[in-house]
Amino acid sequence: MLLYIWRQWPGASERVFGYGRMNLSQLLQSLSDCERDFIAGLDNGADREAHRTALDTLIEHAGDVDFDAQGYWYPYEVIELGKNWLQEAHEREFAACMGIVLRNIETGRDRSNDLEHILTQYYDSIRQLPDVLREVLDSMIERIINKSEPDAAPNGGPVAQSWKSGITGRPPSVN
């Protein structure tokens, strides 16, 4: 059902399957030291060094959190805080944090977040991101939806084509 709703918006499929310029791993690898420090300090600076060390390890693993080895708090506590609030001039940090959460939802590691809640709560923030960052998150959202609704074919069938039905509305990332 979620895919059906997501696909109702004109252009959603083209944007997601259309040719994004960056993936999550590339976004994470491109974060500057200042951006990484910003994320690590999101808990009012508490345990900044521990968060930064764990964040660097997380980036080396393309955003996959090993909760058994890393625990939940380092760096996921600041990742959660980063995904909760899009701050002006920190769009890349927000997209990186949101992408990490989406990645761990996709792999089944994150059991405290779900896609429906993220789309409901962060609709406006995701929509405000620059195109390249929205495209990273769009592709991740689409993959999660496709995994959760196995009958949904990306480029065919009635479910995949339902967004062309003329139903109004827009997904989080389509202006």
pLDDT bin (cut points 50, 70, 90) of residue 148 is: confident
Contact 27, 141 (CB under 8 A): no
Higher-pLDDT residue of 39, 170: 39
Is 35 exposed, middle or buried, given 0-12, 13-18 or 19+ CB atoms closer than 10 A? middle
Cα 12 to Cα 65, 80, 161, distances in angstroms:
28, 26, 11
Tens-digit pLDDT profile for residues 116-127: 999 999 988 999
Burial 139-162 (b: 16+ CB within 10 A, else e): bbbbebbbebeeebeeeeeeebeb
90: which 2 tokens?
A: 């920190």
pLDDT at 138: 94
- The percent of residues in the chain predicted with pLDDT above 90, rounded, is 63
- Read off the DSSP letter of residue 163: G
pLDDT at 120: 94
pLDDT bin (cut points 50, 70, 90) of residue 174 is: very low
pLDDT bin (cut points 50, 70, 90) of residue 7 is: very low
61: which 2 tokens?
A: 């693993």
Is 99 exposed, middle or buried, given 0-12, 13-18 or 19+ CB atoms closer than 10 A? buried
Q: Is 85 left (phi over 0), alpha (psi -120 to 50) or beta?
A: beta
Interatomic CA distance for residues 110 and 65, integer angstroms: 9
Please say if the pLDDT value at position 133 is more than 70: yes
Tens-digit pLDDT profile for residues 53-62: 999 999 999 9
Higher-pLDDT residue of 46, 19: 46
The mean-pLDDT minimum among 1-5, 27-31, 108-112, 160-164 falls in 160-164
pLDDT at 109: 93
Tens-digit pLDDT profile for residues 41-51: 999 999 999 99
The average pLDDT across 2-30 equals 61
